[in-house]
Structure 1
């Protein structure tokens, strides 16, 4: 009632020495004092709603559930409000706009007592904008960011009360905004507190830049995020690099084959590699049985899993752990053997390359802008290490595959191919396979991190 009277006085241009309000007559000084007091209260209301928005929408579902489990006061109110995030957002925005507009109306009316109408509008607008920015937005939101948990639990019960008091207005705008959101390209991302994978990756990169994370820690976290999206085909040892033995060999001969190949476990086939029947494991032989000449590999082999090349690595790891498998065979849609995966391959997807004895490192930095690497390296690893952006396609996952795709034919040793700011040179070939690739990056457009 007071607000409407004050606004009406300004709009009609009435100047009074005493203003009648609900049976009382207020002098100009008393009226000004009352208006200033209301403005102070409204500033607090503006800060309340602004900080509420930050606090409520910064909480993730798991944080809310954790607060409920701990029995924290106000946690249930938060969960109730967050069950309908659109209505919560409308409640906060309606409340915030009401107090800000009311504050502007009162201040304009008061200033109008002492200044001309035009000047009063300018002074009031600049003054209220400054006050709201400092004390109704900046300071409250900063506090909410630093005290998200406790402040959300404090404001949630009060927001429920506001929702009941302003129910008709909130309901009207609830449906109006729903309608507008359908016919406009704008979204409602603020209503969701879920953090995307890209957000997490950006936070990890920021952590490295700020010195919170070491480069190796950042790489492990990046690989962990990528782990659930990787497929068996991306991490397998390809068929051409597989060592395998026939099930008809004697155990003694099989042991010699394992020693020569440098592997304690080796796939066993019948007739061809497309019929893998199990895994021969030296470490699981019975030491008490010395008659290896009388035993064939087929009699002592262990069973294995055959998984499609599209198998998710995360699911595969669970199956390998459950079935206690150390090696599985990857097949294509026709049942043809594509490669194999060991537990070490899965582990390397998270921790990086694990080198054994004198095994050559897959990546050798020549200088700040040049690197020599193995052709079977996955493209996303190359992109991550060199900070470049080579494309990944369904037809290829490795850097060698990318070069073949780029050339559209078999390549020769020493050939060079340019892609954007990157030059790729086939450094070493074995028959038609690209064994090593030299990559040179133009330092004027992007950099490399060693």
Structure 2
């Protein structure tokens, strides 16, 4: 049976009789020695806490930049962050050992003056307060403000700590991976503290606090949305396409381009479902006016293009267009039917906003804070963002015109309205069967209770 340690009273009685190197161990000496050790351990705790924040707040691209600049400690930071899980385990093992040691020493010292239970309570409360203030809050605040410089300072001591605690680090590193493999957990605890959602949250905060103006905020949000955009959401639909048949003469093609106001248009053979390429008005005028051959035909100036599926990611499409130096692509559906076209300008507008020319209409024109005239071809997500509403998006439709047709179940006429979830949509302008403009209004509480049901259409 293992003997229990003597109670504090027995230790106090024995103290005057114990000495080392002619130094008499007294109650006062043990108290001051223990207090000094606790102060040192608080410093070590602060070191580990601040190291964790500094090392894991430092993004990888900044680590590479520090290494390229040849700054002291940069290589060690890179080495430590090459195995982030091992680094995190080292910090956690060291920090917990130090904090537990502080609590144990404080309990022993307070046991000289108070009862066992009282000493334990005082030690727990006291050490907790001290560690939170001097071992966590203050050092972590400093590390956040001085991430790069502090990371370079603590990198080498952290490596020494790993060597010193190697048996425990290896053991807990293995146990953590083992438990994660059993529970199905991921090794993500050492990943960067910044996520995509947090970046978007910082953008919102930046606008509220005046760091970003409204235009900058909107452009950054468009960049995030662009990654989730598909070709069908960007394209000019088939009905709005201007194209020329392959059998047209050069003069006819030039006339079509001039009247449409476009620099380039698709060329088709027999029907729009068989687009063979693109022509540019510059090439037509140059060859017809200054070319050596007076009998020039469209075949001589047609440039190749890409046919891409309507589900293609806009991010990938933009990279492909840049790589192939193509300014216009044709969008097709699963049956190979032409659905529309996309220009480089369309892609850029998705990020920077609409680039209007001449008398071109604004896609969204606000009449007041709760009412706007929008183009029927606008995507629902754009309208939701601009008006802060929540119209649904479906697989059958992506535009506000498509939403109205879907709710009505038939062709609609001007001045017809539809109400949905606190929003009233009034058809302002129709051309043939197409909805060109829609008045979108938010409905207040009283009016919302009395309004028509979402599926009900009526003439005003």
Provide TM-score, normalisation by structure 1.
0.88
* Alpha-carbon distance in 2 for matches of 1:412, 1:25: 103
Q: Within 5 Å, give how 1:427-438 maps onto structure 2.
A: 427-438=428-439
Moved more, 325-334 or 128-137: 325-334
* Alpha-carbon distance in 2 for matches of 1:408, 1:34: 85
Residue aligning to 2:42: 43
Query: Structure 2, unaligned stretches of length 5 or more?
Result: 446-460
* Alpha-carbon distance in 2 for matches of 1:108, 1:348: 67
* Alpha-carbon distance in 2 for matches of 1:192, 1:428: 53
Render the CA deviation track for 1:265-292: whole Å, top value 9, x for unaligned.
Answer: 2222111111112223222234474599
1:161, distance to aligned residue in structure 2 (A): 1.4
1:203 aligns with 2:202: yes
* Alpha-carbon distance in 1 for matches of 2:7, 2:375: 79
* Alpha-carbon distance in 2 for matches of 1:329, 1:154: 56
1:355, distance to aligned residue in structure 2 (A): 0.6
Render the CA deviation track for 1:108-151: whole Å, top value 9, x for unaligned.
Answer: 22122223333322322222111111111110000000111111
Residue aligning to 2:89: 90
CA RMSD of aligned residues (A): 2.8
| Change in CA separation of 1:442 and 1:178 when aligned onto 2, cut-off 3 Å | farther
1:145 aligns with 2:144: yes
1:315, distance to aligned residue in structure 2 (A): 3.0
Moved more, 215-224 or 295-304: 295-304
Number of paired residues? 438
| Change in CA separation of 1:293 and 1:166 when aligned onto 2, cut-off 3 Å | closer
1:382, distance to aligned residue in structure 2 (A): 1.8
1:11, distance to aligned residue in structure 2 (A): 7.4
1:325, distance to aligned residue in structure 2 (A): 2.4
* Alpha-carbon distance in 1 for matches of 2:392, 2:268: 36
* Alpha-carbon distance in 2 for matches of 1:175, 1:12: 43
1:184, distance to aligned residue in structure 2 (A): 5.1
* Alpha-carbon distance in 1 for matches of 2:283, 2:31: 92
| Change in CA separation of 1:109 and 1:197 when aligned onto 2, cut-off 3 Å | same
Query: Structure 1, unaligned stretches of length 5 or more?
Result: 1-6, 445-450
Moved more, 86-95 or 10-19: 10-19
1:347, distance to aligned residue in structure 2 (A): 1.2
Asked if the contact 1:58–1:148 (Cα under 8 Å) also holds between the matched residues in 2, the reply is: yes
1:40, distance to aligned residue in structure 2 (A): 0.4
Render the CA deviation track for 1:179-207: whole Å, top value 9, x for unaligned.
Answer: 33345586654310174322221121111
* Alpha-carbon distance in 2 for matches of 1:194, 1:396: 38
Residue aligning to 1:448: none
1:273 aligns with 2:280: no
Moved more, 325-334 or 266-275: 325-334
Asked if the contact 2:305–2:328 (Cα under 8 Å) also holds between the matched residues in 1, the reply is: yes
Residue aligning to 1:447: none
Moved more, 264-273 or 130-139: 264-273
Q: Within 5 Å, give how 1:210-359 maps onto structure 2.
A: 210-287=209-286, 289-290=288-289, 295-359=296-360
* Alpha-carbon distance in 1 for matches of 2:195, 2:240: 37
* Alpha-carbon distance in 2 for matches of 1:326, 1:230: 19
